[in-house]
Amino acid sequence: MRLRASRWTAAGAAVAVAAALLAVVGPAGAGAAHTATGHRWITDDQGRALVLTGLNTASSAKSRPDGLPWIKEADVQRESDALGSDFVRFLIQWRNVEPAPGTYDDGYLAQVAERVRWYGARGYHVMLDLHQDVYGPAVRGNGAPAWATEADGLPVAERGQWELKYIEPGTVRAFDHFWGTRPGGRDLRAHYAAAWAHVAERFADDPAVLGYDLMNEPFGGSVQGPAFEAGPLAALYRETIAAVRAVDHDSWIFVEPEAVSANWGLPSALPYLKDPRGDGEEARIAYAPHLYPLPMDLGGGYTGDTKKWVDRTLTSWREQTEKTARRLGAPVVIGEYGLDATLPGALDYVAKVRALADTMGAGTAYWSNDPGSWAPWDQHLKPTPLLPVLDRPAPRAIAGDPVAYTWDEPSRTLSVSWRPKADAHGNTEVYLPARFFPHGGVVTGGGEAAAWAPKSRTLMISSGSGDAHEVSVEVRPRA
Ligand code: MNI
């Protein structure tokens, strides 16, 4: 599908996308198949599969001149205490990384590094996300520096529904000049790749940094759909992956699909992307799509007909995500999901997405930690009803190939099963929040409780004796 820089054509295309969505989503799927296998896993230095759980930090970084999120170190501590998170998707801004062409602001990266340390000191894995929405501030968005924004004088009207700014003529033109898809126009992809290489060089040896989310919610300007994802987007990813690998051999590189469409459960045409790490070394490319069913983009809750639509979207979103992840040979992390948690049914929706992520074996980063109605804390940093929904028992690290894990709240049972293997060492670790496990957990099944760390509320589970092909454990509250 090609989108022209006319708002009417573009609006028509948006309607066509919505119609295609309705055609693609099938009937609501059968129940959860509890298999977390079928794709690769991000592993830690002991070879354990990581189940990453956390929040995005933070939307506030988009608009602040310093490009930094609102948090102080005490806020990271509070989040760690309240949610037991071990993962953060940390927003950074291209305009701050490269304020002038080829000039990088290492002072900014030092500020980012300080915040990364706050998380790292509490056991978090950090994914740096070079964020954009609506390209950059020069076209009423965020992300790109003004020097890299070429709108050819075309207008960008303010829009009540912010996503519609994407299809304003000036925004579409700025994207076209970024992607190099306008004959005789600019092509800024090399700048972007070089900026990423600079960031990666700074963080390559930082143990808290798990990897890099190359671009938030990519948008193709006048080139849309498969032509965009298999064309300029894949080209940008290949160039950026090469630039990052030249300075950072080991960090994970996360790629996102075209957002409008994939966020709604439509197919992605993102092609396989080779990781040039070297022969005999496993690729470290991961897939980090977002999940925002269309009615929720429009501010809907999770009740009635909207709930039915959302449930169908979840089914197709899972199918499409797994299909793309298989094509990429990539682990899956849901880089964003979330909604105004005060909407009717919102808490059920969040619980449902967490359960879906468990059946997929996907990590999750809730959007976002910015105090307010979407967050687990309000403007006064007091917990909201969302907090207990996010603060849920889950595995953190699994000492083998994960088979399945589920949390059953009515029976207060966390079930985890895995296949031990030679290159996975140490214990399986599960997070047990005080709400359900005030005195820790008791393990039944094939494993044994090895140690309880009350501060981090993690229970270490050993695979038990013998060389079982598969270990299944149930963890229930200690009396
Ligand atoms: O919902 C979107 C979204 C909808 C539509 C479009 N286009 C029309 C191009 C693009 C994006 N995004 C969801 C969330 N992502 C940002 C941060 O990455 C959040 O602020 C949004 O809620």
pLDDT tens-digit series, residues 2-37: 222 222 233 333 433 443 333 333 322 222 233 444
Does position 178 have pLDDT exceeding 60, yes or no? yes
Confidence of residue 433 (pLDDT cuts 50, 70, 90): very high
CA–centroid distance, residue 295 to ligand 1 (Å): 12
Among 157-161, 369-373, 430-434, 464-468, name the one with the lowest average pLDDT: 464-468
- Which pLDDT value is given to residue 465? 66
Does position 41 have pLDDT exceeding 70, yes or no? yes
Q: Is the CB of 216 under 6 A from ligand 1?
A: yes
Does position 352 have pLDDT exceeding 70, yes or no? yes
Q: In the chain, what percentage of residues exceed pLDDT 70?
A: 92
- Which pLDDT value is given to residue 279? 80
Q: Is the CB of 263 under 6 A from ligand 1?
A: yes
Q: Which residues contact 109 (CB under 8 A, 6 or more apart)?
A: 97, 198, 199, 202
Does position 313 have pLDDT exceeding 50, yes or no? yes
Say what the pTM is: 0.93
**Residue at token pair 């099944």:** 445
Does position 91 have pLDDT exceeding 70, yes or no? yes
Contact (Cβ atoms closer than 8 angstroms) between residue 295 and residue 343: no
Does position 143 have pLDDT exceeding 80, yes or no? yes
Q: Is the CB of 163 under 6 A from ligand 1?
A: yes
CA–centroid distance, residue 163 to ligand 1 (Å): 6
Looking at 371-475, list the stretches that DSSP marks H as alpha helix, in order from N- to C-terminal side: 386-390
Q: Is the CB of 219 under 6 A from ligand 1?
A: yes
Q: Which residues contact 369 (CB under 8 A, 6 or more apart)?
A: 55, 56, 57, 58, 69, 71, 75, 79, 375, 376
- Which pLDDT value is given to residue 24? 35
Q: Is the CB of 217 under 6 A from ligand 1?
A: yes
Task: Give the orientation angle of helix 106-120 with respect to helix 189-203, to 10 degrees.
Answer: 50
- Which pLDDT value is given to residue 5? 23
Contact (Cβ atoms closer than 8 angstroms) between residue 202 and residue 196: no
- Which pLDDT value is given to residue 285? 98
d(CA 255, CA 253): 7
- Which pLDDT value is given to residue 39? 79
- Which pLDDT value is given to residue 179? 98
For residues 457-461, give the mean pLDDT: 98
Residue 412, class by beta-carbon neighbours within 10 Å (0-12 exposed, 13-18 middle, 19+ buried)? middle
- Which pLDDT value is given to residue 238? 98
For residues 239-259, give the mean pLDDT: 98
Q: What does the angle CA 207 – CA 213 – CA 218 come to, to the nearest 5 degrees? A: 175
Which domains, and CATH codes, for the chain? 11-391 (3.20.20.80), 396-479 (2.60.40.1180)
Q: Is the CB of 368 under 6 A from ligand 1?
A: no
d(CA 343, CA 381): 19
Q: Is the CB of 166 under 6 A from ligand 1?
A: yes
CA–centroid distance, residue 98 to ligand 1 (Å): 24
Type and span of the H or E element at 450: strand 448-453
Q: Is the CB of 260 under 6 A from ligand 1?
A: yes
Type and span of the H or E element at 87: strand 87-93
Confidence of residue 466 (pLDDT cuts 50, 70, 90): low
Does position 90 have pLDDT exceeding 70, yes or no? yes
Type and span of the H or E element at 94: helix 94-97
Confidence of residue 278 (pLDDT cuts 50, 70, 90): confident
Q: How many CA atoms lie within 13 A of 377 on its CB side?
A: 15
Among 243-247, 278-282, 313-317, 379-383, name the one with the lowest average pLDDT: 278-282
Give the residue among 199, 241, 235, 243 at the shortest CA–CA distance from 218: 235
Does position 416 have pLDDT exceeding 90, yes or no? yes
Q: In the chain, what percentage of residues exceed pLDDT 90?
A: 89
Does position 276 have pLDDT exceeding 90, yes or no? yes
The sign of the CA dihedral 118, 120, 123, 129 is: positive
CA–centroid distance, residue 325 to ligand 1 (Å): 21
Q: Is the CB of 369 under 6 A from ligand 1?
A: no
> Relative to the CA of 296, which ligand 1 atom is closest?
1
- Which pLDDT value is given to residue 30? 24
For residues 348-368, give the mean pLDDT: 98
Task: Give the orientation angle of helix 73-83 with respect to helix 106-120, to 10 degrees.
Answer: 30
Contact (Cβ atoms closer than 8 angstroms) between residue 174 and residue 147: no
- Which pLDDT value is given to residue 468? 79
> Relative to the CA of 338, which ligand 1 atom is closest?
22
Q: How many CB atoms lie within 10 A of CB 184?
A: 4
Among 106-115, 277-286, 367-376, 426-435, name the one with the lowest average pLDDT: 277-286
Contact (Cβ atoms closer than 8 angstroms) between residue 78 and residue 381: yes
- Which pLDDT value is given to residue 1? 21
Most informative mutation of 60, 260, 366 for ligand 1 (most atoms within 8 A of CB): 260
Does position 380 have pLDDT exceeding 60, yes or no? yes
- Which pLDDT value is given to residue 419? 94
Does position 121 have pLDDT exceeding 70, yes or no? yes
d(CA 83, CA 87): 11
Q: Is the CB of 297 under 6 A from ligand 1?
A: yes
For residues 334-353, give the mean pLDDT: 97
